[in-house]
Amino acid sequence: MSKKTILLIDMNSFFASVHQAEDPSLFGKPIIVGGVPNNRKKGLVIAASYEAKNKGVYTTMSVYEALKKCPEAIIVERNHTLYGSYSKKIMDFLRLIGPTETASIDEAYVDITERVQKGTSPKMIATYIQKMLWEKLRLGCSIGCSNTKTSAKMAADIKKPFGYVHLQQLQFCCYFHPQKLSKLHGCGQKTEEKLNKYDIFTIGDLAKSDPLQLKLILGKRGEWLQKAALGIGSDRVNPEREKGDKTIGKEKTFAQPISEPELLMSLARKMIESLCERLKQKNLRAGTIAVVYKTKREEGSHSKSMTLDEATSDREQIYQVVEKLYDDHLSEIPLVLFGVRFSNFKDTNYIQLSLF
């Protein structure tokens, strides 16, 4: 069993909270981020504060419908530059705590193993993080703690907002095994429906299933999901992963979940064309290729990545990497967001020199 101690910091209603932090008069009020500049009643809800969520507002519903549910809501226009600047402050602060892996603009894994081994309790560290982020930035977060990244992620979802949940492997199993498969991080609706046909309905059912049967049903993903159901998984926090402005990417959010590979790969090819054009303009090649995705609207985005032996800007090579990442990790999983992201850049001149 892993001896690591990992925190997953999940910022609460991040986009809406940033606007409240910027304008204190918005604190405690229902905020909807979205709409279109000339007509705030058109467009989709990009994010909402808890005050708006409690009235039934959710991400991707139309602003028109959201205002029916919460007429007193205040509409604010999205500002990704502002969110990025706050995210950078958060990540820079977390790196002072321990090795930090950026999972998305509002989520990060922090390895606190060394601090715990020196005698500081995980709860004390988590409380300190929550206290400092609130005092300095006026932003709240929920924190999950466990010995693997997936378990920490699932623990963070238990108590929101401002929650802290610490689950050891046995506690993880006791809490999650009676719950539906949809609660297992990485298990989408299509996968759940497949498993239900074999009388696998709960996370506990999955944990005690025959591994060979799971491999026949889901391929490699069956083994990965069963390990996740047992509280086993990766404990490697990668500080080099996608550091803020050192990435470029494109994403698309869908009105309805999409699981058709042909449609998603066609979209991926268009994204790669656009991103490779940007690489060409900047005289760069990408060393790490990632697919970005969401399986649930209310969650932050996740990603799966591959680091290449040699950085590249070749469209076809990058497409093959994206296709493999999708096939290995996301095949047949309904996605509400899909994207492609490049990072770990090398400039073309450096690459030419390194060959000689």
Query: Residues with catalytic annotation?
Result: 107
H helical segments located in the chain: 14-22, 50-53, 63-69, 80-97, 113-117, 122-137, 149-156, 169-176, 189-196, 203-207, 211-218, 220-229, 261-282, 315-329, 348-354
Residue 315 contacts residue 230 (beta carbons within 8 Å): no
What are the distances in angstroms from CA 60 to CA 39, 296, 356? 17, 11, 51
Q: How far apart are CA 285 and CA 343, in angstroms?
A: 9
DSSP string covering 131-174, please? HHHHHHH---EEEEEESSHHHHHHHHTTSTTT-EEE--HHHHHH
Q: Which residue has the tokens 């940033």?
A: 18
CA distance 28 to 40: 21
Angle at 10 between CA 322 and CA 286, to 5 degrees: 25
> SS3 of 61, please?
coil
CB 97 within 8 A of CB 115: yes
Query: Which residue carries 């005698």 as its tokens?
Result: 119
User: What tokens does 33 get?
Assistant: 């981020």
Q: How far apart are CA 296 and CA 173, in angstroms?
A: 22
